[in-house]
Structure 1
């Protein structure tokens, strides 16, 4: 069986780390990425880390002609689908961009997959599909209902994929519901590199620590949590990436459609994260409490036991590992990929 995998959005944060794990496990990787929130340099570094070749194609998943060409040139066994816009706040301002990119793009991809006879798909979903959870920890059968356009776009895609599988049992689809990926590869060569002001907590913390930004804005100090700040389940991006390899292996057993949570299974508040980072990096992170962001919830963490039972996957890296690797990436790459060595 061919071990060729198409990775859409493979030059992004989670995508690049997943490419490392796929290559390390003997897969041939083709990346399709429009570079709207990623860097070609990340792929060059993936190749350096793994001493393996990545076939990179710059393009958009909504480009049907390009997809047709890719599938005709390669014999893919599976597709790992990361390509999507991902900022909660931005999604409330430009929701149509999110529905066009995340939902329409996935429909186009699946249409071409079906036409080419490729039915194994790992979909990059999100814990945002659970909305404001009714109970914690969150299990896969918890009620679904997103609180912002980004989350709704992920939930819509999940529902579309469920309908697709119901209509044609040849489809094997893994819905991987990520909690909050942070950290970086231990080499310090790849990590999270937002194009503009970071939307996620850890790159903002590390950019404050490196001197790129004056202070961190903590959105909301009046939640019903231990210290009033939002609580999330943070997972090391390398652990998350390994979950995708396990998911592809599972698809090859003709598993049908299944959702799995990928998280640590415990929650940490924003202030706890600041403290943990300061300890790991020996840096000070000034912060101020500001108003809540629209669409945010108080607390969210996973029950990831189903992934352990069915995928043989468990998050192994500690919160300290996440902080040390984040700081190594940021201190080695103060400007991210922006001033990278050209290949």
Structure 2
């Protein structure tokens, strides 16, 4: 871990699933967030009823320290037995809200019921945040969450399959208790920065960009190498996206569409070698940064598994995480080195 980050090892954050009622951010040095009663049914006008209210309606003012940029898979929860029973009744016999495809068909017919669910961001099947669509574009955000859920239930070979979803937002200072009893913090989510990682389309687009200059066998190796590279990134990056360094790393990891085309040239080790594989990811504070920004350098090291004497390829991205939506600064830099 970089000294300037000053936080515990990220891998420790997700070593074990939380017990019922356990606060996922209890070990954070940030001020404790007051717990509220179990959330009641969401409504179109949440500011006048119980449950998750719009940030503006609750007087919430975002601050730099409250920024979140995390990725995982979208899930949903009912919160209470009564609300779960209401979905069983509304969906009718032979239908279950636990069947994701049946639930999506139901929500397509009754859009208002979308607000009755507690939408969550899950990491390895563990809910880490409850998602609160921000006003005044909450309808757009709900549509994106439903779209993510639709992509997740597709087969991994389907062109529309969504492997991960990036969620930007702000900690609202509220918490919600899920049906299991687990308590998770609530994040206000703007629609503009939600990102789908549709890996199949990303990989095929990158392969087509270089296929004309490569042999068919090399193209097949590249396709496999890109998929393994993305899987390695997703498995290596495991954090809650609270700290600046974590948000920068998550942005590089999930925004594969921005980096994968550039990576194709770095993954190709040359005619005498194979396809490079990801060896390590490192993040450090940028030595130079523009005014009012929070810049971090995220470095990815690639090695040739078929020729260990070949130098590693280092690719560096500079990320500004001062806004809810991180952005890249300048062009990625790459070089070869024997030591990372």
Normalised to the residue count of structure 1, the TM-score between the two structures is: 0.29
**Structure richer in helix, relative to its length:** 1
Q: Between the two structures, name the one with larger relative contact order (CA 8 Å, sep ≥ 6).
A: 1
**Structure richer in strand, relative to its length:** 2
Normalised to the residue count of structure 2, the TM-score between the two structures is: 0.29
Which structure: larger Rg?
2
